[in-house]
Amino acid sequence: MRLEWSGHSTEVREAGAGPSIVLVHGYPLDGAMWSGVARTLATRFRVLKPDLPGRGENPAPAPRDLEGHADFVEALVRELPPPVGLAGFSMGGYVCLALLRRHLDTVRALALVDTRSEADDEEGRKKRDEAIATVRTAGVSKIAEVMVPRLLSPASAANRDLVDRLRRIILRQRPETVEADLAAMRDRRDSVELLRDIRLAALVLVGEQDALTPPALSEKMASAIAGARLVRIPSAGHLTPMERPGAVAEALGDFFASSLAA
């Protein structure tokens, strides 16, 4: 589908039919990270995997705050017939929480995938600033070099095809977009208290070997959201949708099938 956004015409890739699911990607990636999951889900749902502003099929400039991304996702959701499910991976989870902070009734079901509710602490903000300096001095290729091993479990890092696909996605991102994403994540609001206000169906999913957002953080999120389910994905690190797309699609499919039922 096409969406007019911020003075630009944006192409949002979609497949399948049925209740709508919007898959929000993370950093430093684009909507293609969801491709394997989306193919499976499209047998049961209408699946949309947008590129957030500043990359891929979305020519609008990347905002330097999560609220700007949330504005885009909200505009997309409002074009879809209800009920709508929303899944956010890592930074995409931050975007989903920023949207729900303003409109808790925007969607019927929410999946938080390998993400966290806490804002960056002082050390985390320092690391974002260091990464911004890296982008400015060494480019996106250095970001790819650093991020690929952090995103994957050791077993996934040995999968050459997966590593090559991941590197291609990262390397096609614009330096200004990567910098904007880092600033947006650095300055994001804390969402811990927001979790207690969420009353829609919720799933928290995490890779058992996720070193960036460890399972203990997902357990805390699931405990804070009333009625939330927690799913651990074996043999996966942070990037579960690319490492174990079948297992992630099965968990999301079962969740959305029950929570989006008429």
Assess if residue 211 is contained within a domain: yes
Alpha-helix runs per DSSP H in 78-214: 91-102, 122-138, 140-151, 154-157, 160-171, 175-186, 192-195
Q: What is the pLDDT of residues 219-228, one digit of tens each?
A: 999 999 999 9
Domain that holds residue 11: 2-118+190-259
The DSSP bridge partners found for residue 201 are: 109
Alpha-carbon distance of 59 to 225, in angstroms, equals: 35
Residue 131 resides in a domain: no
| pLDDT, tens only, 113-153 | 999 999 999 999 999 999 999 999 999 999 999 999 999 99
Element (H, E) at 25: none
Residue 148 in any domain: the answer is no
pLDDT per position as a tens digit, 156-193: 999 999 999 999 999 999 999 999 999 999 999 999 99
Q: What is the mean pLDDT of residues 87-111?
A: 92
Q: How far apart are CA 123 and CA 10, in angstroms?
A: 36
CATH number at residue 207: 3.40.50.1820
3-state secondary structure of 8: strand
Average pLDDT over residues 95-106: 88
Whether the model clears a pTM of 0.85, i.e. scores above it, the answer is yes
Number of structural domains the chain divides into: 1
Give domain status of residue 170, yes or no: no
